[in-house]
Amino acid sequence: MDYVLPLFVGIPLALVAVAAIAPWRVLRDALALITPIGTGAAGVWLFAYVSEHGTIAHSVGKYVGGVAIPFVGDHFSAIMIITCSVVAFASNWFAIVVGETRSRFYSSLSLMLLTGVMGALLTADLFNFFVFIEVMLLPSYGLMAMTGTWARLSAGRTFVLVNLATSTLLLIGVAIVYGVVGAVNIAALAGAAAGNGPVTVAMGIVVVAMVVKAGIFPVHTWLPRSYPATSSSVMGLFSSMHTKVAVYMLMRIYVVIFDLDTRWIWLIITICILSMIVGAFSGLGESAMRRVLAYQMVNGMPMILVVLAFASHNAKTVIAAGILYALHHMITVGSLILTSGSVEETYGTDKMSKLSGIAHRDPWVAAVFAAGAFSVVGFPPFSGLWGKVFLILGIADSASWQAWLVIAIIILASFGAFLSMLRLWREVYWGAPMNPQRIPESLRVPWLRLAPGAFLIVVSFGMFLFAGPLVSATNDASESLLDVNSYSTAVLHQGEDAPVGVATNTTLQGGR
């Protein structure tokens, strides 16, 4: 069944063409919803299939492993596909409700972004990963231009410039890796950066590019400046796709290519600690709702990646905790963005100084936002509780003073997130009612606008309620990520007769 893997990219790509030429808005809207439902269902099938049969891989054209264009599916990629699809569905749903899909090419561009994400999560080749990153970026530029106001477009230039520079840096890093090793296949590079200076430097360039895309300190400032410069639906897409694809590849690279090299533990801890503190408290100085939420993304990324510093001890448990937190963060931040977007679309602004007393006018909106705030901080009964608890338990398992330092910073960062959410609540949802001469008393957030954010918070509640199966799934994802031998065997077809005898795995790795 490995031949199914290219269809994760091929079918959404074909639907992009259909959406681009479809003259009927209802058809384009239907495709914008059906496609992420389809990719999510395919992700569920992939997770179930690899649970029974193990990691699967497909080489396009049946070329030999290491030379072919490879797609590989395991629990880790499957669970990320499912979660990305859920948030993409909710974001496109919100776009339809608020009328953004009146722009003819909105649906096709959002589906092209989803296509790039599918490819990036399934590819086993660094150069093809770069290609799929470009497939993600091109529609992102269009979405930002299409949904941003003139004032927003000036900030959107930051997104374009940073991502162009990052893509160039990524391509340079991949080219140097190929020049040093003679391969860019991730499986062929297994362990290559552990103790090999030239490969480490080359892969370091790739890692820096991914750190920029993930919005990690000190290269994070572009994210809270540019993401809120587009619409809420597009910000929801970006929050679950661009940053999380970068986090996915950073985890894959560090486990497979760096072989959990302990030389970088202190660097990982230092950068993640600083990023947590900056992300947690910088939001206190912002004046717009979605800029506050953008800093929660800066706060959340290092909480996912810091687990790599403790993977030398009980790697399966601690990396599973990081994956669980990533899933929670995608769902929760997506809900907060879309809920804030419903307020912005209804009242015409996301400036906190111009909003007040929303809880009195729209108690259900306030309830959904409060639930999202509880989740992002780590309160029950939402996914954030298990995300924080298992993250702290996984790190504490190493029983080192570095672990206690990181745990203390996680608690401090959670307190900073709590203060940011409390300030936003006080300014926007609490307080005196707004001036009825400026905002009509009859104006309310329509149910349809609130529904996408509420849907995601229900998913978060479900993740809390069914924590057992969720933890089991993340343990499977962690185990598949750490099982480098199965990954390499599936991708490189070791022990099989390749129909095209271009090279062998031994030849490819001879450049070490």
Q: Is residue 330 part of a domain?
A: yes
Percent of the chain clearing pLDDT 90 (strictly above): 58
Question: C-alpha dihedral over 164, 169, 171, 177, to 10 degrees?
Answer: -170
pLDDT per position as a tens digit, 75-108: 999 999 999 999 999 999 999 999 888 888 899 9
pLDDT per position as a tens digit, 319-365: 999 999 999 999 999 999 999 999 998 888 888 888 888 888 889 99
Asked whether the beta carbons of 101 and 28 are under 8 A apart, the reply is yes
> Is the pLDDT at 305 greater than 70, yes or no?
yes
Q: Is residue 488 part of a domain?
A: no
Amino acid at 366: A
The pTM score is 0.91
Q: What is the DSSP code string of 239-278?
A: HHHHHHHHHHHHHHHHHHTSTT-GGGHHHHHHHHHHHHHH
Over range 297-316, report the average pLDDT.
90
pLDDT tier at 497 (50, 70, 90 boundaries)? very low
Q: Is residue 103 part of a domain?
A: no
* pLDDT for the residue numbered 267: 93
Total domains present in the chain: 1
Q: Is residue 157 part of a domain?
A: no
Q: Is residue 470 part of a domain?
A: yes
Say how far apart CA 140 and CA 118 lie, in whole Å.
15
Q: What value does the mean pLDDT of the chain take? A: 88
What's 393-407 look like in SS3? HHHHCCCCHHHHHHH
pLDDT per position as a tens digit, 149-191: 666 677 678 888 899 999 999 999 999 999 888 889 898 888 8
Q: Is residue 69 part of a domain?
A: no
* pLDDT for the residue numbered 151: 64
* pLDDT for the residue numbered 152: 67
pLDDT per position as a tens digit, 198-232: 889 999 999 999 999 999 988 888 898 888 888 89
CB count within 10 Å of CB 234 equals 27
Say how far apart CA 339 and CA 457 lie, in whole Å.
10
- What values do phi and psi take at 263, rounded to 5? -65, -20
Q: Is 20 helix (H, G, I), strand (E, B) or coil?
A: helix
Q: Is residue 455 part of a domain?
A: yes
Q: Is residue 45 part of a domain?
A: no
> Is the pLDDT at 193 greater than 50, yes or no?
yes
pLDDT per position as a tens digit, 264-286: 999 999 999 999 999 999 988 88
Domain of 395, in residue numbers: 263-482
- What values do phi and psi take at 123, rounded to 5? -70, 150
